[in-house]
Structures are given as structure tokens and as C-alpha cells.
């Protein structure tokens, strides 16, 4: 018996040793492949540098190789060279040294697009439409937006002279600007809406969003709000910790909000609420859309999984990956995906599987049929693999094609500039309304400018005609095609009238922004916000609100939807 045990132990030990040997061989092979391929890459570059017919630029060539390698992973893993670190810091901290203004390209020159309130550009009187001519005597003609942006940014406290050309002013204007620390607000707007409903727009999770959010919420509490709307639409995310901190304002201490899992144990972490909430009972709705991603999905997903708020809108983006920055030689940095995150129900909202690509290298969303059912704390069904599906889905309105072209051709921007020259003052942001005469003037401006825009109906009709000709149907259908072409004929005046509501709304926001900055523009936009109205109505209907958070109601609604289908 003793010999048998010794023999068994020896066999087991042999298996362990064999396993370790195989593991060692595997690691050695991987290390060999790494060394081999780095050596090949190094040799290829040396050969190119010595013998290629034209001169090779080392930085550009190697950067191309790095970017191609990272592109094969996911769009969030990126290399930042020392000269690009400002962009990374802006992404993480939400701040930079500059003048506090958005700039854009207009009629071949870089112009001021939107100065931020209480920041150097606005305080010194720079206005949208101002053409940037010179910085410290350096001519900006031919410079790109990125190049001019780099010249405007710099060390905090440094000064420069900016020369601009302004519409309606004969001579160029000069401004002496001092660069300041520009902190882009995470909460650009909050207010009390109808029926004592608080509204907070949270546009980012970079900088200090939790502090800004808390200040806004406490200010609204003092004004007597009895319910709250958190607007996360088009919030692309940011810092995970900040999302947890905001969730903690409404959820009990000790609740797990999110946990992460990566290849290495150091990336496995659990994030829980650490203190008592400010208000654990106030009814909350959260507005989301397909631009809500990352930290936005953590906050919205935690509220949904813990049945703390009703999510309203369209399905979110579906980014369930976590990035970490790693310092590199020569002042650079690598932002790389190190983990996936999971919200309280245990689901991961990642919508795209970058690991399993198609043969052509493309990737697609995880189909709904392959997602897994999870359950909220109350037992409601929720799914993984495709973002956060709202509790109350609202069909997203499609942007009219003509509006897209009016924006990129800066026709609305141009009209707003003209309007401001003619109107030194306007009513408050809440009271301002574009008149019929104003819109008529806009239409005339667009018509005179030889404005061109692509219409999808023309493309579809052209493709249909080609298919009909190929399949031999054109002879019998030629008259019908002629009639359809006549019906779909290009008519700018008709399209400007047909989509006037959407166009007027955008023109109004662009005009108001010039007098009352970003807050004014948001005020104007919310006047025609159907999702906001639905959120307010829901918060003022406790029975429906509580019903959406109960599993029985959720099952009943799923049954009704199935019957309709």
C-alpha cells in the first residue's frame, strides 16, 4: 500500500513537472516569436533606411507601423507621442492651457466658432466668426485648425497678441490674451423644469464631474425639486470613479456599482459606494441615446440594475471596456484596454467583439440573439452585449439630410453671424423665438449662395434604375420612372419649408449662443425636447413610474410588444 501511494505521488509529480515543462515551452516559444519579429522589424527598417530610393522619415514610418498594429486591436488603444500628450491630458483631466474657445474652418480660414463663458476669449470680446489672422505677428493663412489650435494653447500665464478680422469692422482688431487653465464644464446646465422637476445635463466624466454634479443637485434641492432628470445623451464617458461617486449620491453605502476583470489580477477591482447617499428616495429618470457610452453606461446601468431610476431614450453605444495609461520612453504614453467592466446584474454592455474579427478585418455588433438574460435587483430582465436598453424606449428622430449639409457648409453659422451684426440685443434665451421674417431671410441667403446638398432619394432612384435596366424591366417601367423623377425633383425651397421646424430650432440655438453662451443654447434646445417632456410626464405619474421598475409590469409590456409583432 505504501509503495502504491509513493508510486501515485511520483506519477502526479511527473504530471505537474510535465505540465510546467509544457508551460515553459509555450512561454519560451512566445518569447522567441516576440524577439524574432522585433528583430525582423528592426532589420526591415534598417534596410529601408539604407537602400530605399527615397529618404525615409523614421518618426513617420515607425509611427505608421505602431498605429497599424494598434488598429488591429480596438479603437481605444492608442499611442501618444510626447508632442501629443496635451490631447491625452485633455481627455483625462478635461483641462488645458489656452483661451477657452472652439475654433473651426470657414471659407478657407480658421475662425472663432464658440467662445466659452467667463474664459479669456469671451472676457476680451472675441466673437463667433472672427477670422484669426496672426498670432504674435505670425501669419495664420494656410494653417489648419489643428495647427492654429496648437499655437493658441500653451503654458498657463503666457501672453500673446491675436489679430482678427471681424464682420462689419473695417480694420483688423488686436487682442492681448493670457492663457489660463481651461476647465471644460462637465455640467454645462441645470435648472428647475415644470412641476418642480430638476434637470442636470452631464456632458462628460472628465475633470471633476462628481463635484460639479453634487453642487448642481444641492442647488436644485434648495429650490425645492421633488424629482430629477439626469441627461447623459451624447456623453461619451470618462473616469469610472466619477460615475461611481455620482451613483453613490442616490444609492446606499456598500452597494457594488461596477467591477472590472482583465488578463492580470491587478486589473480586477470592485467599486462600491463608500458613504451614505444624499437622497436615496428622489424619483429619477435618466436620458440616454446611442452617444451615451462608457462611464455613462456604468451610471445608467447601475441605476437600472438596482432599480433606482427609469432609463429613457434609445439604446446606448455599448462600450464595456476599460482603458489604462502606461508611461513610455521619451515622454510618450500608451492608452490601452486592460479590462472589461461589469455592472451590478453581472452583465457587460460591450457591443462589439474586437477579438473575433471577420475575414476582411471588419467587426460587427453582437446580435441580440446571442445576448444573455440577466436580472435587476427586483427581478426585471435585462441583457448584456449591446449597451443599455432603456426601460422606456423612444424612437430616435432622424436628422434631415438637408440639415446635415446646412451645418457642414456653415450656412446656419453664417446666418447667425449676420443676425448678430443687425441685432445688438435679443430677448432672454427662454423667450427668444425666430420669426417668420427671420426664416424667410435665411432661406433667401441660402438660395443666393448656390447651396448644394446630396439627397438620398436621388441616389436610391439612380440605383433602382440601374437594377431595372440590368434585369430588363426598364422598357415597361420607363413612364413610371419619369413620373417618380418629377415627383422627387430637386426643390430647395420645398425642402427648407418641409424641414423648417428642425432648421429653425438649430438656427435659434446658434443665435442665442452668441448672446448667452452654451447655457443659452441649451435652454433654447430644451424648449423643443420631446424626450424631456416625456421624462417630466413620467415623473409626475408615480403609478407608471413605479410600474416600470417592477418585474410584473416589465413582463406585461414585453407580452404586449410580442403581441403587436
How many whole angstroms separate alpha carbon 321 and alpha carbon 170? 53
pLDDT number for residue 373: 93
Is 333 designated active site?
Answer: no
Question: Residue 448 belongs to what H/E stretch?
Answer: helix 436-448
Contact call for residues 152 and 163 (beta carbons, < 8 A): no
How many whole angstroms separate alpha carbon 341 and alpha carbon 346? 9
Is 438 designated active site?
Answer: no
95-183 matches 206-223+236-326+337-356+365-393 in fold = no
Q: Is 334 exposed, middle or buried (0-12, 13-18, 19+ CB in 10 A)?
A: middle
Output the average pLDDT for the chain. Answer: 88
Q: For residues 486-504, give the mean pLDDT.
A: 82
pLDDT number for residue 9: 47
Contacting residues for 399 by C-beta, under 8 A, at least 6 apart: 502
pLDDT number for residue 461: 61
Looking at the chain, the whole-number percentage of residues with pLDDT higher than 70 is: 88
Please say whether the structural domain 206-223+236-326+337-356+365-393 has been given the CATH code 3.90.226.10. yes
- For 287-341, how does the pLDDT look when each residue is reduced to its tens digit (9 = 90+)? 999 999 999 999 999 999 999 999 999 999 999 999 999 999 999 999 999 999 9
- For 360-369, how does the pLDDT look when each residue is reduced to its tens digit (9 = 90+)? 667 777 777 7
- For 196-211, how does the pLDDT look when each residue is reduced to its tens digit (9 = 90+)? 999 999 999 998 999 9
Given a cut of 80, is residue 68 above it in pLDDT?
Answer: yes
Candidates 127, 208, 319, 410; catalytic one: 319
Given a cut of 70, is residue 176 above it in pLDDT?
Answer: yes
What is the CB-side half-sphere exposure of residue 117 using CA atoms within 13 A? 12
Assign 348 to helix, strand or coil: coil
Q: Which range is least confidently modeled, 31-45, 325-339, 433-447, 472-486?
A: 472-486
Residue closest to 410 by CA, chosen among 435, 464, 446, 357:
446
Measured in residues, the chain has a length of 565
pLDDT number for residue 34: 87
Chain CA centroid to CA 390, Å: 18
Contacting residues for 129 by C-beta, under 8 A, at least 6 apart: 106, 111, 112, 166, 167, 413, 417
**Which sequence spans correspond to the domains of the chain?**
31-72, 95-183, 206-223+236-326+337-356+365-393
Give counts: helices (H), strands (E), the chain: 18, 21
Candidates 101, 203, 294, 333; catalytic one: 294
Is 305 designated active site?
Answer: yes
Candidates 74, 113, 231, 305; catalytic one: 305
Fold of domain 95-183: Pdz3 Domain (2.30.42)
Given a cut of 50, is residue 223 above it in pLDDT?
Answer: yes
- For 69-125, how does the pLDDT look when each residue is reduced to its tens digit (9 = 90+)? 998 899 999 999 888 887 887 777 777 889 999 999 998 999 999 999 999 999 999
pLDDT category, 266, cuts 50, 70, 90?
Answer: confident
Contact call for residues 135 and 161 (beta carbons, < 8 A): yes
Given a cut of 70, is residue 487 above it in pLDDT?
Answer: no
Amino acid at each position: 500500500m505504501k509503495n502504491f501511494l509513493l508510486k501515485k505521488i511520483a506519477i502526479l509529480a511527473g504530471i505537474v513537472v510535465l505540465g510546467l515543462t509544457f508551460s515553459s515551452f509555450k512561454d519560451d516559444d512566445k518569447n522567441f516569436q516576440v524577439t524574432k519579429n522585433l528583430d525582423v522589424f528592426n532589420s526591415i527598417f534598417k534596410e529601408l533606411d539604407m537602400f530605399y530610393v527615397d529618404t525615409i522619415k523614421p518618426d513617420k514610418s515607425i509611427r505608421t507601423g505602431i498605429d497599424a498594429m494598434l488598429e488591429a486591436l480596438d479603437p481605444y488603444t492608442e499611442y501618444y507621442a510626447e508632442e501629443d500628450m496635451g490631447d491625452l491630458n485633455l481627455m483625462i483631466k478635461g483641462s488645458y492651457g489656452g483661451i477657452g474657445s472652439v475654433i473651426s474652418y470657414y471659407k478657407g480660414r480658421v475662425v472663432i466658432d464658440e467662445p466659452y463663458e467667463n474664459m479669456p476669449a469671451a472676457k476680451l470680446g472675441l466673437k463667433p466668426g472672427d477670422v484669426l489672422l496672426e498670432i504674435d505677428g505670425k501669419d495664420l493663412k494656410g494653417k489648419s485648425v489643428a495647427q492654429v489650435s496648437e499655437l493658441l494653447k500653451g503654458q498657463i500665464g503666457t501672453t500673446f497678441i491675436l489679430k482678427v478680422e471681424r464682420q462689419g469692422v473695417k480694420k483688423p482688431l488686436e487682442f492681448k490674451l493670457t492663457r489660463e487653465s481651461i476647465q471644460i464644464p462637465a455640467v454645462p446646465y441645470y435648472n428647475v423644469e415644470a412641476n418642480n422637476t430638476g434637470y442636470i445635463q452631464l456632458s462628460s466624466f472628465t475633470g471633476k464631474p462628481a463635484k460639479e454634479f453634487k453642487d448642481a443637485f444641492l442647488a436644485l434641492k434648495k429650490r425645492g425639486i421633488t424629482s430629477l432628470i439626469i441627461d447623459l445623451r451624447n456623453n461619451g464617458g470618462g473616469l469610472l470613479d466619477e460615475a461611481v461617486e455620482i451613483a453613490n449620491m442616490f444609492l446606499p453605502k456598500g452597494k457594488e456599482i461596477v467591477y472590472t476583470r482583465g488578463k492580470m489580477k491587478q486589473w480586477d477591482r470592485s467599486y462600491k459606494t463608500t458613504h451614505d447617499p444624499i437622497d436615496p428616495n428622489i424619483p429619477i429618470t435618466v436620458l440616454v441615446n446611442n452617444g451615451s457610452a462608457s462611464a455613462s453606461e456604468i451610471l445608467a446601468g447601475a441605476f437600472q440594475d438596482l432599480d433606482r431610476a427609469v432609463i429613457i431614450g434609445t439604446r446606448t453605444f455599448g462600450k464595456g471596456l476599460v482603458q489604462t495609461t502606461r508611461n513610455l520612453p521619451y515622454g510618450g504614453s500608451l492608452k490601452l484596454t486592460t479590462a472589461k467592466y461589469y455592472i451590478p446584474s453581472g452583465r457587460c454592455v460591450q457591443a462589439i467583439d474586437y477579438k473575433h474579427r471577420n475575414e476582411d478585418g471588419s467587426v460587427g455588433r453582437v446580435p441580440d440573439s446571442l445576448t444573455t438574460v440577466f436580472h435587476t435587483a427586483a427581478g426585471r430582465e435585462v441583457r448584456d452585449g449591446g449597451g443599455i436598453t432603456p426601460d422606456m424606449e423612444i424612437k430616435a428622430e432622424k436628422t434631415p439630410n438637408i440639415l446635415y449639409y446646412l451645418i457642414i457648409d456653415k450656412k446656419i453659422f453664417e446666418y447667425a453671424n449676420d443676425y448678430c451684426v443687425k441685432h445688438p440685443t435679443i430677448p432672454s434665451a427662454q423667450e427668444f423665438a425666430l420669426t417668420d421674417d427671420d426664416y424667410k431671410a435665411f432661406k433667401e441667403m441660402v438660395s443666393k449662395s448656390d447651396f448644394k446638398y446630396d439627397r438620398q432619394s436621388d441616389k436610391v432612384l439612380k440605383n433602382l434604375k440601374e437594377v431595372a435596366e440590368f434585369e430588363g424591366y426598364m422598357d415597361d417601367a420607363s413612364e413610371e420612372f419619369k413620373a417618380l423623377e418629377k415627383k422627387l425633383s430637386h426643390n430647395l425651397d420645398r425642402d427648407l419649408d418641409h424641414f423648417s421646424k428642425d432648421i429653425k430650432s438649430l438656427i435659434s440655438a446658434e443665435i442665442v449662443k452668441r448672446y448667452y453662451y452654451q447655457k443659452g443654447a441649451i435652454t433654447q434646445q430644451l424648449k423643443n425636447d420631446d424626450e424631456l417632456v416625456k421624462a417630466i410626464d413620467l415623473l409626475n405619474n408615480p403609478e407608471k413610474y413605479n410600474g416600470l421598475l417592477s418585474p410584473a409590469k416589465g413582463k406585461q409590456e414585453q407580452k404586449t410588444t410580442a403581441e403587436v409583432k
